[in-house]
Amino acid sequence: MAIPVVDLADFLSGDQKRKQSFVQELGKAYEDVGFVAVKNHGIPDDLIADLYKYVQQFFSLPSDAKKRYEVPGLAGQRGYTSFGKEHAKGSDAPDLKEFFQYGQKVDDSDPIEKEYPGNVQVNDISQFNPTFQKAYRAFEKSGKALLQAIALYLGLDEDYFDEHIHNGNSILRAIHYPPITSEPKSAIRAEQHEDINLITLLVGASADGLQILTKQNEWVGVTSLPEQIVVNVGDMLQRLTNNRLKSTTHRVVNPAREMWHTSRFSIPFFLHPKSKMDLTCLEGCIDNQHPKAYSNATAGEYLDERLREIGLKK
């Protein structure tokens, strides 16, 4: 399935006609599909290449070396999470993956710094942490522009999300789906799910496998060109917009048998706001045909609930 493609350069061009056209294209794509491919996204190709290089080096480390970077009690929010720890909401089957998470590094005097655990320093690969930090900031910048466009589409001030995502609780996650070495119990590497956050930015993936569930209830593969990133709506934005912008169900399926010996790598950026952001449904998204669908909650309360549901928090 060729998902809708938008050009972020139109939004940033300074040309009001191009900017407004981008806002409408993006908003309509999120109402209809929930996923878009974004070109001219501002994340440099060489940075993406470095990110994948160091991620592959990390997951190639021996198991005992990787486990030194696993921190009990952090619910997987920083550092390494070993194979089979996470499962989709409503599923008991563990996803067939291991991952590493890198979070917010507060560079100003914002007191929110106390809320965030420090990032885990990967000593085995000297450029691992500096590259993750550079990538994190690049994703933040692109995500901020996309949320500004979403705000305009919803009839809000362009900077509506800015204060909520500055020093927000976003996560850069590197995922490794190891080779399949025996007949799998399921055709699914990562069971169907929706993302928790506002939006997810996915840069590249080393193999096919991502599928989305269409409105016709059919699973279709998602492909994007190398110079594009895929960006989807998460549950927090769905809640805020009272289902006007839908969080799309997606999954990762196993490759064809002849590719079982290969690994799959994927690096999504989960754009989260600060924990105190109010996710109460926007008044402009509630009417007689669309009554309020969700109880009031902050982003922090909702995240905590979801981490328990997927098995990362007890």
pLDDT tens sequence across 23-69: 999 999 999 888 899 999 999 999 999 999 999 999 999 999 999 99
pLDDT tens sequence across 131-153: 999 999 999 999 999 999 999 99
Q: Work out the average pLDDT over 14-30.
A: 96
Q: Name the token pair of 256.
A: 């064809």
The single-letter DSSP state of residue 171 is E
**Paired sense of beta strands 199-205 and 188-193, if any:** unpaired
| Nearest partner of 176 among 106, 84, 69, 91, judged by Cα | 84
> What's the one-letter identity of residue 181?
T
pTM over 0.85: yes
Which of left, alpha, beta for 173 (phi over 0: left; psi -120 to 50: alpha)? beta
Residue with tokens 């193999």, as numbered in its chain: 207
* 118/78 Cα distance (integer angstroms): 8
> What's the one-letter identity of residue 141?
K
Domain range annotation of the chain: 5-309
CATH 3.40.250.10 at 5-309, yes or no:
no
Is pLDDT at 206 greater than 50 in this prediction? no
